[in-house]
Structure 1
Amino acid sequence: MRELSELIEVEDPAWPVLGAELRDAAVPVDVLDADPRRGAAALVQTQVTVRSFLGAFLLRSGGAFVDDGWLRVYGSPAADNPRRLPSLARVNGYPPVTVPDWLPQTGLVVAHDVLGGTFVVQGGPADEVGLPGQPGEVVYFAPDSLRWEALGAGYGAWLSWMLAGGTEEFYENLRWPGWRDEVRDLDGDRGLSLHPPLWSAEAHQDLGATSRRVVTMAELLELEREMGAQFDEVDPGPLGAP
């Protein structure tokens, strides 16, 4: 297990580039300040260096609300967190103290969207972890299909795309008129449950006509996991624990 010094004392740290992308993002972004001590502990347990976007974001950020909070990207525990955005450690069930060789079961949950969509950095060969894609690739559990999708990019490229306005393309068919007013002030541990549900054909006839209810992300993800298992008769696996 690499010590903190090995993870932060590197050439070409990613934060100058990532920090600029966060400041100059094409969509509204609210970045929370990290608690330095707890951020360092999270970095050691995750075992990534700050040369990577993931390591830099984890050490220097308490997470971020992207595109007015539609997307929540998890960082280290925030120093000040009035909107209750969970940390990467909490969402992935990190042990309370650093444990050598501990890793999440199938991959690292790095973000959720307000609809319960889950972004995971794939953690191993597909036949071992039950997720599509290659190790290190970001995969997405889609709330409208209740299936995993490989996105063909690692964490850094995925985050850069989201900050550059990729949310508009990625969610083109999952947004309704006035969604910003419903999402902007939601806490980081809350999401929207739609009726008819997103995985039904009825919902997509007119998303704006669906009824939407604020629920905890834990409730939303539990329902999606249960329904995904019913539809495919295969448990989609952990979706994180906000």
Structure 2
Amino acid sequence: MEELITVDDPAWPTLLEVIITSSEVITRMLPADARQGRRCLHRLQVSARSWLGAMALHSGGLLVDHGWVRVLGGSSGLPGMPDLLRASALPTIASAHPAPSRLIIAYDVLGGVFAIKGGVAPAGALPGKPGEVLYFAPDCLEWESLELSYENWLRWLLSGRLAGFYESFRWSGWQQETRTLALDQGVSFTPPLWSAEAQNDIDATDRHPVPLAELLGLHSEFSRRFGLPDPGLS
């Protein structure tokens, strides 16, 4: 534990400075629990020198851009916000279990999922290279690689370029609707995001909040129904 925590150049001061002074989007930091953070860091076997280690050790999570993206930390700071271990169903003891094929690091309100690709997935099961951030896209129901490391992904989230990534799926008044969601809720669309109707005119869809777990389950169900690979979300 001490080897992971006591490092010469911890990432947290730099990460904190980026969040507070350089972020181009409204970002809320959630409170952390020190004991849970240490446990998470040890289970992940990453050091406090990395940005992932800094989030695990010092953060209960981040709500980015009015809560549109919920970045997971090492301790659950608020009800409905999972930590890094619970999101990927990882046990707290590292030595007794292998590394996961992917580590979930964030959710968005659309039911999209961000994850780091691990090194033990079967060939072809997930795109990208080990260590790259993947995104499960609810408009195509498949994983895609963003070709970014965790640090570069988090810098990208906070840089303001998020708006371009989600441009086709933000409706008039999305800020207010997003702010009122509970942390365990997402937005369900009718017609769904993978339909031509939703992709042509997002404002014409009917939207209502649903439990995020239910939304992820629907994505998995439709993936199987369309003969796509099981995304492993439910």
The TM-score with structure 1 as length reference comes to 0.91
Taking every aligned residue pair, what percent have the same amino acid on both sides?
A: 47
Matched, 1:235 2:233: no
The aligned runs of 1:92-131 (5 Å cut-off) are 92-95=88-91, 97-103=92-98, 105-124=100-119, 127-128=122-123, 130-131=125-126
Higher RCO, 1 or 2 (CA under 8 Å, sep at least 6)? 1
Q: Deviations over 1:76-108 (max 9, x none)?
A: 2235x25x322112111122x424152464210
Residue of structure 1 equivalent to 2:143:
148
CA contact (8 A) 2:74 2:84 kept: yes
C-alpha RMSD of matched pairs (Å): 1.6
Residue of structure 1 equivalent to 2:15:
18
- Equivalent-residue separation in structure 2 for 1:28 and 1:104 (angstroms): 33
Residue of structure 1 equivalent to 2:192:
197
Matched, 1:9 2:6: yes
CA contact (8 A) 1:126 1:132 kept: no
Q: Deviations over 1:153-212 (max 9, x none)?
A: 110000001011121121111111110010012121110010000000011221111111
- SS of the residue corresponding to residue 152 of structure 1 reads coil
Gaps of 5+ in 1: none
The aligned runs of 1:127-138 (5 Å cut-off) are 127-128=122-123, 130-138=125-133
CA contact (8 A) 2:127 2:145 kept: yes
Matched, 1:161 2:159: no
Gap change, CA 1:130 and 1:59, over 3 Å in 2: same
Residue of structure 2 equivalent to 1:67:
65
Residue of structure 2 equivalent to 1:51:
49
CA contact (8 A) 2:135 2:146 kept: yes
The TM-score with structure 2 as length reference comes to 0.94
Q: List structure 1 segments (4+ residues) > 6 angstroms apart after TM superposition.
A: none
Gaps of 5+ in 2: none
Residue of structure 2 equivalent to 1:219:
214
Number of equivalenced pairs? 233
